[in-house]
Amino acid sequence: MITKTYEELIAIPRYKDRYEYLRITGSVGLDTFGADRLLNQILYHSTEWKQFRNHVIVRDHGCDMAHPNVLIKGKIIIHHLNPLTVEQVKNRDPLIFDMNNVVCVSHQTHNAIHYGDETQIREEQLIERRPGDTKLW
């Protein structure tokens, strides 16, 4: 069942509000999938995932949380809006490759989403750009 969607996310105009929408507030130190982490690593190294990842990056223009004013500098992570389970990965659930269930995020934003730590978001990301704004952050 999908509870968060890309369509809902991009309808949120403010960057910080997008972060609040995606925030999970997990616990630092808990590995994704625990002992089954190898499963998601196999998935993320597959040709199918790499092609899918490229489509997501193009759709989001390489912007953090698909916000047009926040270009990702560095590695782009494809974040599942609704966390995957081991069973979904084992069964190749279509939700894994659902464009409405993923968004581009930076490494820092990804950590902030998972651990609920807003301090992971760089300050300049929180500054909204406006027409006529000539200040470079």
The residue-averaged pLDDT of 102-122 equals 85
Given a cut of 80, whether residue 38 has pLDDT beyond it is no
Confidence of residue 119 (pLDDT cuts 50, 70, 90): confident
Given a cut of 70, whether residue 6 has pLDDT beyond it is yes
pTM here is: 0.81
Contacts of 48 (CB under 8 A, 6+ apart): 97
The reported pLDDT for the residue numbered 48 is 95
The reported pLDDT for the residue numbered 122 is 60
Q: Is 105 helix (H, G, I), strand (E, B) or coil?
A: strand
The residue-averaged pLDDT of 84-96 equals 91
Q: How do 102-106 and 76-80 pair as beta strands?
A: antiparallel
Tens digit of each residue's pLDDT (9 = 90 or more) over 63-81: 999 999 899 999 999 999 9
Sorted by where each begins, the domain ranges of the chain are 6-27+35-126
Backbone angles phi, psi at 78, to 5 degrees: -95, 115
Distance between CA atoms of 95 and 89, rounded to whole angstroms? Answer: 9
Extract the tokens encoding 3. 């509870």
